[in-house]
Structure 1
Amino acid sequence: MRPMLIALAVSLALPAHAAEAPPPAGKPELYAIGLAPSPARIEADIRKLVSFGTRHTLSSQTDPKRGVGAATRWIHAEFERISRDCGGCLEVQYVTGTVQGEPRIPGPVEVVSVIAIQRGHADPNRYVIMSGDIDSRVTDVMDAESDSPGANDNASGVAGTLEAARVLSKYKFPGSIVYAALSGEEQGLFGGKFLAEKAKAEGWRIEGVLNNDMIGNSAGINGVVDNTTARVFAEGTRATETADEARLRRFTGGEVDSPTRNLARYIDRMATHVPNLDVMMVYRLDRFARGGHHRPFNDLGYPAVRVMETNEHYDRQHQDLRTENGRVYGDTIDGVDFDYAAKLTALNAVSLAGMAWAPPPPADVRIEGAVTANTTLRWSKPSAAQAPDLAGYKVYWRLTTEPQWTHSRWAGNVDNLTLENVVIDNYFFGVAAVAKDGTESPVVFPGAAGSFGNY
């Protein structure tokens, strides 16, 4: 048979999708976003937040210059200014709730957060969220009067969120991005609780929450100075897992493949777009026996992680401003590394952009292949209106002891793929959706253990 006829015969023998060329390996704009956050703008925002004296949740909400109310109004105005610069692309609003009878909020107090929504043009009810905490505190968690600059904890997270809004508001995305400045964290995670409850009530399809709590300290109390790594804390199985789901997971796996864990893996991969930055994935809800504003989202079953510095300095957290025996305490601005805060802001920005540009994560991912040589994965595809730029799907797998996905195969614009002679017993598997520009969703592990929700 002549070469041309051989090629024709081979092409006819292959499934139609196998002949499709995969999309580009990456999107160049992500590298530009990885360089875009400005240390100078982040420094200016942190200095402004510090200037309010204290941002304690129980501090004044009416004083024009001091207290949490003045800080919250400034954040709202700053989001509005960013929105004007992008032609009104942000919907800026307050999210409020009243708290009383709690150990750290005894009397009725209105907890006020600020969010800015950059609405997606194709799939507006799919959200990725970046958050930082407005409030600050000193040693006594009930002290709402003393100066509490909270420069790193957590003016850095709010400044990073504002800067991410400035950077990403220059682009348009199929999915929606929410930039959130949440209050009441130190008094009981109330700002996150109210926003998570709002999302649940309004039916938001949350693909991921990136909570930034302390992203500006590169010099740890352990003596380590490191501006090249970031930690991403990610819980294992969902808090909302049912007894039946847990029973199935015992036989099929998924303990390290919750949507939150695969969100962390996604952020780790996106770090390649930020120069000289690597991610340390920590398989824990938060630091040992501690908490943050991502937890209220985890409590409702949403994928949510904590992004933060690798080396903390505890003398600069929750401390009265003082010097004792030559040791300086307090969360002041001289302890913030603005270049480092810009790097971690960039990590958030490229991760948000990658998810918002990509199609929604595949839904209803299933797997089969017990007692056979082959493994087959199946999934459901979204409507063309919901994912107009969908190019197809990529199947991933890895050894069960590997932290990151190591193998992949392009499937094409189909709803299933069989991996021949790849034995189901030896690996973990997942599926990601891929856009025509090469952006990908997080990988979805099969079954309820790995589902990102009803897409």
Structure 2
Amino acid sequence: MTNDLRRICGLLLLGGLACGQPGGSDTLSASTTAEMTTTTGGSTAAPTTTGDATTEPTTGEPTTGEPDPCAESPQALADCVDPQAYADDLQFIADIRTPGTPHWQAVQDLCADRLAELGYEVVLMDYGTGVNVVGRRLGTTNPEQIVVVAAHYDHITDCRGADDNASGVAATLEIARLLAKVEFERTVHVACWDEEEDGLIGAEAYVAAATAAGDDIVINFNFDMIGFTSDAPNSQTVPAGFELVFSETYAQLEANMFRGDFIALVTSASAHDHAVALAAASDRISLPQAIIELPGGQENSELFADLRRSDHAAFWAAGFPAVFLTDTGEFRNLDYHCMAGPDEVADLDLEFAAGVTRATTEASALALGM
């Protein structure tokens, strides 16, 4: 379907964004219902047509009548991650996608169409300068409680951005596929943010709308660069003064000879339990990880600016719990923003990225009440 049919207005209400998704209602916002168009993978969506055949939208999963073994537990769900599907999405996404360019539009369409096919209610949140793609599936018993899994899909000029952040968007879409297999107690929002590179603008628009609506966001799992590793000693660096605040993590890195072979779980104190669950899920599949937990109440301090440079910071600023999953960007990958060379798929560790996707699938399912 075309982008125009899915687009919603970036309506301003009392000086704030009124586009949003209140957690427990069937509409996104009482003040904006008349101004927006949604597309859904459920029974109320328009049928799709292929050739001479007309079919209803599908979740993309076979219906055999047999229980899906992937839906037996959070661990089983995580173990159903498809590395090839992840790699295929990554390969497609990794191209020039500066906002407004054809491939930016193609990736936006990929997010919207995939989520709709999987049965999510999909909203294109046009907040004026960019477009967020948000898919929602309501929880069964606690729909007002929301778990957000997200990554930004925009990038800078003249850089393919395979690690930053095609790697995160591909993980988000694969997790969306798996979470669509299960009915959860809580509501899940799966999002592709726009304009992260211009200052977290898309995520801030979503958070402003969520705050205005009084949404109860339980946790935000945010991906930004999850595909680059190096087992060379001293390939991992840290921000200045890191060892003074995060001494245990620093000792862990030092004992590993500062190899860049782990996923960093940068967490607010309020998201502690979710970070621990994510670390346990990582341990289960032997995925190296390091928890970097900011002191309580210090999430928005400029002292930790290097740990706030992605969309999770918009959630922290509003008091919502969030965990930032990252390979640490330029503290490991010298091709960050194509500074030392092109940021290409060929330079990424796809097995590692699929492992991060598996661990986050498990942690997300647990957070959703599975």
The TM-score, its normalising length taken from structure 2, stands at 0.67
Structure 2 equivalent of residue 206 of structure 1: 217
Partner residue of 1:132? 151
Q: In structure 2, do the counterparts of structure 1 residues 164 and 287 end up closer, same or farther at CA, with 3 Å as the change threshold?
A: farther
Question: Structure 1, residues 228-261: CA drift from partner, whole Å, max 9, x if none?
Answer: 73211123xxxxxxxxxxxxxxxxxxxxxx3133
Higher helix share: 2
Q: Which contiguous aligned blocks of 4+ residues in structure 1 show a shift greater than 4 angstroms?
A: 224-228
Alignment CA distance shift 1:73-1:204 (3 Å): same
Which AA in structure 2 matches 1:68? W
Gaps of 5+ in 1: 1-26, 61-65, 99-109, 138-143, 236-257, 321-327, 359-455
Are the aligned partners of 1:211 and 1:293 in contact in 2 as well (CA < 8 Å)? yes
Secondary structure of the residue aligned to 1:329 is: coil
1:154 partnered with 2:165: yes
The offset of 1:278, in angstroms, is 4.0
Matched, 1:79 2:91: no
1:344 is aligned to 356
Correspondent of 1:333 among 329, 336, 345: 345
1:100-152, CA deviations, whole angstroms, 9 ceiling, x for partnerless residues? xxxxxxxxxx2111111121111111111111110112xxxxxx4x3x21111
Question: Do the aligned residues in 2 keep the contact of 1:112 with 1:191 (CA within 8 Å)?
Answer: yes
8 Å Cα contact 1:315-1:330 kept in structure 2: no
Letter in 2 for 1:92: V
Equivalent pair of 1:34/1:275 in contact (CA under 8 Å): no
Q: Does the 8 Å CA contact 2:150/2:190 hold for their aligned counterparts?
A: yes
Letter in 2 for 1:155: A
**SS at 1:45's partner residue?**
helix
Distance 1:220 1:276, change over 3 A: closer
Q: How does 1:42-121 map to 2 (within 5 A)?
A: 42-50=86-94, 53-57=95-99, 59-60=100-101, 66-81=102-117, 83=118, 88=119, 90-98=120-128, 110-121=129-140
Match of 2:32 in 1: none
Deviation at 1:226, TM superposition (A): 6.7
Q: Distance in 1 between matches of 2:280 and 2:215?
A: 25
Partners of 1:282 and 1:97 in 2: how far apart? 32
CA contact (8 A) 1:228 1:276 kept: no
Distance 1:276 1:310 in 2: 19
For the residue of structure 1 that corresponds to 2:127, the secondary structure is: strand
Q: Percent sequence identity over matched residues? A: 24
In structure 2, the partner of 1:275 is: 285
Question: Hey, what does 1:249 align to over in structure 2?
Answer: none
Q: How does 1:162-177 map to 2 (within 5 A)?
A: 162-177=173-188
Match of 2:338, SS state, is coil
Q: What CA distance in whole angstroms lies between the structure 1 residues aligned with 2:265 and 2:170? A: 19
Cα distance change of structure 1 residues 275 and 227 upon mapping to structure 2, 3 Å threshold: farther
* Counterpart amino acid of residue 353 in structure 2: A
| Distance (Å, rounded) in 2 between the aligned partners of 1:36 and 1:227 | 27
Q: Does the aligned pair in 2 maintain the 1:37–1:346 contact within 8 Å?
A: yes
Distance 2:264 2:214 in 1: 30
Structure 2: gaps (5+ residues) = 1-70, 237-257
**SS of 1:206 mapped into structure 2:** strand
Secondary structure of residue in 1 paired with 2:113: helix
Determine the C-alpha separation between the residues in 2 that align with 1:315 and 1:228.
Answer: 15
Bigger Rg, structure 1 or 2 = 1
Aligned to 1:32: 76
Answer yes or no: is the 8 Å Cα contact 1:230–1:309 preserved in 2: yes
- Offset at residue 76 of structure 1 (A): 0.9
**2:124 partner amino acid:** Y
SS of equivalent residue, structure 1 residue 314: coil
Distance 1:172 1:227 in 2: 37
Which secondary structure state, in structure 2, belongs to the residue aligned with residue 288 of structure 1? helix
**Distance across 2 between alignment mates of 1:92 and 1:28:** 26
Partner Cα separation in structure 1 for residue 154 and residue 320 of structure 2: 24
Q: Deviations over 1:331-354 (max 9, x none)?
A: 111112211111101111111100
Cross-structure match for 1:182:
193
**Structure with higher strand content:** 1
SS in structure 2 at match of 1:70: helix
Alignment CA distance shift 1:231-1:287 (3 Å): farther
8 A contact 2:124–2:132 mirrored in 1? yes
